[in-house]
Amino acid sequence: MEAYHKLNPHEWVNKYSDELFGFAYIRVGDEETARDLIQDTFLSALRNLESFKGEISEKNWLYLILKNKIIDHYRKNSKTQLTRIDDEQDNDEFFDESGHWKKDALPNPFNQSFNNQQHSFEFYEILEKCKRKLNEMQLSLFSMKFIDEIDSEEICKELEISSSNYWVLIHRIKLKIRKCIEKLFYGK
Amino acid sequence: MENKSNTNKLMITCKEATMLSVQKAEINLSFSDRFRLFVHLMICQYCRLFDKQTKMINKILSKWETDKKLSDIEKNTLQNIIEQEIK
């Protein structure tokens, strides 16, 4: 018997859809895109049942397909955005011409509720809001770097960016995310 | 991955210091960059705070979780799409 006969597509939605959806949602940052990716994953899987050789579980096989879809999504998102890297350098919201912090960009300490909340779902909802401040290119890079923890060189290859562009982007992302978290966890 | 700092100056700006602190999380900085960053962080409380906070943020991000789920309607739709495809 071929390995793919062990697959049971009728059960996929019931068994895996929530988990796959959460996985995609964290990475792409919006529900509609995440839903599309899950649908594409199931359809691709159905059209390529023969590629299932049984070395990995049904679940991991679906994850593998989803991961490839997500990488495609990152790549697509980053294509149109490259020109904006320099743009943000010119209109710097964090540093003045001499490279010092602008007054309203100066870092402040986070308050106590940051420590109490940082591993709750509510906290990740807040982070979700902060992610929306990133442009699409930054968002792709953000997910690859901090959620998938893909190696920097691999990221540059996938997104076709130079290492100096990479650093500029990562620098901006961290400045923005830190600032956004501070706004939400500042004061008493 | 490489970083390019083509100056020999000891004092760096906050913009450069935060960049080095971001790079330090991922690559081995050269001795001189490490030293420059060290000196800057000694005298600049803001960049020191940035350095500390971004380290905390890194840790949190790698444990990202969500309790987002699909609604029953969405699941039914997906189920129908699958059943149609199988037919």
DSSP per position, B27-42? SPPPHHHHHHHHHHHH
List pLDDT tens digits, range A84-113: 555 566 678 999 999 999 999 999 998 877
B9 is written with which tokens?
């100056």
Between chain A and chain B, how many beta carbons pairs sit less than 8 Å apart?
A: 126
- Stronger pLDDT, A166 or A77, i.e. the higher one: A166
Q: Which positions ≥6 away from B12 have C-beta within 8 Å?
A: B20, B36, B37, B40
Q: Is B63 on the interface with A (CB under 8 A)?
A: yes
CA distance B29 to A166: 16
CB within 8 Å: B82 and A9: yes
CB within 8 Å: B78 and A13: yes
CB within 8 Å: B18 and A171: yes
- Stronger pLDDT, B41 or A187, i.e. the higher one: B41
Q: Identify which of A18, A42, A149 has the shortest CB distance to residue B82.
A: A42
ipTM here: 0.81
Q: Give the pLDDT of residue A29.
A: 83
Q: How far is CA A24 from CA A27, A32, A39, B15, B68, in A?
A: 5, 10, 11, 34, 10
pLDDT at A9 over 60: yes
How close B56 comes to chain A (CA, Å)? 10
Q: Identify which of B23, B47, B69 has the shortest CB distance to residue A21.
A: B69
Phi-psi category of residue A54: left, alpha or beta, with phi > 0 → left and psi -120 to 50 → alpha: left
A150 is written with which tokens?
């893909």
Q: How far is CA A79 from CA A55, A118, A152, A160, in A?
A: 34, 33, 17, 8
Q: Identify which of B1, B61, B68 has the shortest CB distance to residue A152.
A: B1
CA distance B16 to B14: 5
Q: Which positions ≥6 away from A74 have C-beta within 8 Å?
A: A140, A141, A143, A144, A158, A159
Q: Give the pLDDT of residue B5.
A: 52
Q: Which positions ≥6 away from A155 have C-beta within 8 Å?
A: A141, A144, A145, A161, A166
CB within 8 Å: A17 and B23: no
pTM: 0.80
